[in-house]
Every structure is written in C-alpha cells, then in structure tokens.
A = this chain, B = another copy of it.
Amino acid sequence: MSTLPEVAIGVIGAGMMADAAVDAVARWRLLVAPPGAPRLRVLCDVDPSRLERLAPAFERTATDWRAVVGSRDVSLVYVAVPHHLHREIAAGAIEAGKDVLVEKPMGLDLAAAEAIAAAASARPRQIVHVSNEFPFHPAAIHARELVASRRALGDLPFQYSGWHLHGSDVDPKKPINWKRQAATCGPGGVMADLGAHVYWMASLLGFRATSVSSALGKFFRERPKAAGSTETAPCDTWDKALLHARCANGALATFRVDRVATGVDDVWGFRAEGSGGVVGFDSERRDETLHLDRQGGSGMTHVPRGSRAAYPVRIGDIFGFGFRDVLLQMWAAVVEACATRRPSPLLPDARDGLYFQRVTDAALRSHATRAWADVASA
C-alpha cells in the first residue's frame, strides 16, 4: 500500500465519531482497491481525560484545536465536536488550508453554516465535506444508480418520501444531553441532526426542496439531569418534524425526522415515485433496493444487494452490511476525494451542507409564520 497517496488526518473531538473513524481506518485492508492511505496523525479534545483511550491509534494528541489546524503534517481535519463549535473550528481549518470533513449539521444554525460555506467558497481547491454515512448502503447506492442511469422515475416525478426515525426519546426518563438543548444542538433540534440524512438522500435522487411547510412537535419540555435524577433540565429542541416540500423537479416531498417515533430503534428510508416507476429503500430490510419499472410491468421488486458496495470489500459480496461497514465506505469516499482532489458525488459538500441548514431554517420560519417558506437559494 506504500505507493498510495497518504491522507494525514487530525481528528477534533474524542467522542463516538472519533471511535468510528479509528475503526474505519483500522480495517482499511478490507478494501479491495483502497483509494488512498489514511494516517491518523493527531487526536484532539479539550478534555485530556477523553484522549487516553483512543490515543494509541494516533501519532500524537492535542487539547487545542488550533494546534491541529496549524499542523503542517495534517492535510484533513475531521470536526467531530458538539454543533455549537463547528463554525469556529471548521471555518478555522478551511482558512488554515486544510481539507475538512465536518459532522452534520455543518453549523449550529444558518449563520454558522453560511460562515463555513463562505470559507469553503473562498478556497475552492480544498475538499470540504459534511459527514453522511447512510447513503453508502449498497442498496442506497443502487437506488441512486437506477435513478441516474435509467431514468427510473420517468418524465414526471410525483413524490419523494424520506424519513429518519428514532424512538429513544419516547421515554420521559431519558436524561438530557447536549443534543436536546438548542444552545448546543441548534435551533433546528432533530432536523439539524437526523434531518441532514433525509435531505441529502433526497438530493442524491434529484429531489431538492425550493419551499417547505412544517409541522413541528416538542412533546417533552424537560428531562432528568442524569439517569435516575429527579432534578430536571429544560429540553428546548424539536422532537418531531414533519415537512412538506415542493421540489425543483416539480415533485412534492415529505420529510419526517423524529426522536419520538414510538416503537422504533433507528430506522431510515425513502421512496421516490414518478410516472416511470418507483425506487425505494427501508433500513429494516437494508440488503434490498425496492424497484418498480412501469415499462416492465406492475409490482414492487425487492432487489438483493448484499455487500455490492461503492468501494468493494473483501469477505464476499453477498453478506449483508451493517452501520460500521457503511462508515468504512464513507471514509473511503473522503480519502478518495482528498487523494484525487475531486469531491465525492456521494458526500455533501459545503453548499449542500448550507442547503440542509436552509431547509431547516425555512422549516423554522414556516412554523413561526404558519405558512410555506421559501428555501433560500445561492
């Protein structure tokens, strides 16, 4: 592998997503044709106690993000910190000349996203991507290929339905965390966090919202400060967001992003319908693309996809994917983008990240005015 272009990575934030990055890099050998060689240079967290566990996977550690973005030997900075810190760090890394992968949402709010997008726009030669794992499921990749290459939806796209549902917050005893507070999660609440998955998959299939109308729900106003505690903290984010959208391609869309979806663990999917057919996916049967080609007759076909991935992996292509396999695929796309200097078509760039925040912002305005709101355009 020594001849592959090396991508030297600095990871900022030593939480769950740093774990995910380390796991992806550790299994790089699994890729049949690795698109580059990731190298975990530095791990950074303001809290030194959080560095310890993952430190052995890196060459060094840091506690000040500026030390990372200022390092000559780092070319890609992965920003995996709470949302309110994205703006300063992501924009700072871009301005320092680094390629950047920033966790979704790109910024805490519209202003933050605009700042990061502006920084990216000023430095068009740098790679700036927003993290988005789910579209890398083989069946989702296949869905995109169907739509792109075969005009599977026909001349008249009718409707896109997209959803990402969690049920964890149905339990009133679940303690508060930073993702349930607007100051750290952002005003969009569940839309900022899970919504990016939904808006991006729709974009990949050609459904881009120009205006939205929202129905937002906030069912729990406070939560225990800790497990079992009777002390509570305010819970001021949106739990549930139902969006209608009108899309640039003439279709209507519905987006549902939800943390109080009773009975659900973590489920996402989509269904795109047009005069020519249907393309869909449901993570509960995640080895299958759903496809109906009206020319070919009636009836939805469940097309098995197994592990036929964008970046083929060893150990068979019939065995089903899991979330961690999807993470490896996303990192392969990031490394390929950095190595080839071409952004990945499967990953949102800074303009896409800004678009997600504009959808969320329009949904918030729609809620405030009880009316449809236009999604700002460039």
Which residues of A are interface residues toward B (Cβ below 8 A)? 16, 19-20, 22-23, 26-27, 29-30, 54, 57, 156, 158-159, 166, 168, 170, 172, 213-215, 217, 219, 240, 242, 244-246, 252, 254, 256, 258, 260-266, 273-275, 277-278, 283-289, 291-292, 294, 296-304, 306-307, 314-316, 318-325, 327, 369-372
> Could you tell me if B219 and A283 are in contact, using CB atoms closer than 8 angstroms?
no
> Could you tell me if A242 and B240 are in contact, using CB atoms closer than 8 angstroms?
no
> Could you tell me if A284 and B285 are in contact, using CB atoms closer than 8 angstroms?
yes
Other contacts beyond A16-B314, A370-B371: 6, CB < 8 A: A158-B261, A159-B217, A159-B261, A214-B244, A263-B299, A265-B287
Instruction: Name A159's contact: one of B22, B240, B278 (CB within 8 Å).
Output: B240
Instruction: Name A296's contact: one of B172, B286, B296, B314 (CB within 8 Å).
Output: B296
Q: Which residues of B contact A219 (CB under 8 A)?
A: 156, 158, 275
Q: How far is the CA of A26 from the CA of B23 in the complex (A)?
A: 8
- A286: nearest chain-B partner, CB-CB: B320
The smallest C-beta distance from A229 to any residue of chain B, in angstroms, reads: 20
Q: How far is the CA of A302 from the CA of B302 in the complex (A)?
A: 8
Q: Which residues of B contact A299 (CB under 8 A)?
A: 263, 288-289, 291, 301-304
- Number of copies of this protein chain within its complex: 4
Offer 13 A-B interface pairs, CB within 8 angstroms, sorted by A.
A19-B315, A23-B29, A158-B170, A159-B242, A240-B252, A242-B254, A262-B275, A263-B292, A296-B296, A299-B304, A322-B324, A325-B325, A370-B372
The smallest C-beta distance from A239 to any residue of chain B, in angstroms, reads: 8
The smallest C-beta distance from A332 to any residue of chain B, in angstroms, reads: 14
Q: How far is the CA of A74 from the CA of B54 in the complex (A)?
A: 28
Given A306-B265, A322-B324, A324-B322, check contact A314 B213 (CB 8 Å). Answer: no
Q: How far is the CA of A112 from the CA of B156 in the complex (A)?
A: 35
The smallest C-beta distance from A281 to any residue of chain B, in angstroms, reads: 13
Instruction: Name A57's contact: one of B29, B240, B300, B307 (CB within 8 Å).
Output: B29
Q: Which residues of B contact A260 (CB under 8 A)?
A: 158, 273
The smallest C-beta distance from A117 to any residue of chain B, in angstroms, reads: 28
In the A-B complex, the 3 residue pairs with the smallest Cβ-Cβ separation, listed nearest first, are A322-B322, A319-B323, A299-B303
Q: How far is the CA of A16 from the CA of B170 in the complex (A)?
A: 43
Q: Which residues of B contact A323 (CB under 8 A)?
A: 307, 315-316, 319-320, 322
Q: Which residues of B contact A315 (CB under 8 A)?
A: 16, 19-20, 23, 323-324, 327
The smallest C-beta distance from A9 to any residue of chain B, in angstroms, reads: 16
The smallest C-beta distance from A160 to any residue of chain B, in angstroms, reads: 11
Q: Which residues of B contact A252 (CB under 8 A)?
A: 215, 217, 240, 242
Q: How far is the CA of A170 from the CA of B298 in the complex (A)?
A: 12
> Could you tell me if B300 and A302 are in contact, using CB atoms closer than 8 angstroms?
yes
Q: Which residues of B contact A258 (CB under 8 A)?
A: 159
The smallest C-beta distance from A57 to any residue of chain B, in angstroms, reads: 7
Output the residue of A27, A219, A273, A320 with the most chain B CB within 10 A.
A320
Output the residue of A19, A245, A292, A324 with the most chain B CB within 10 A.
A324
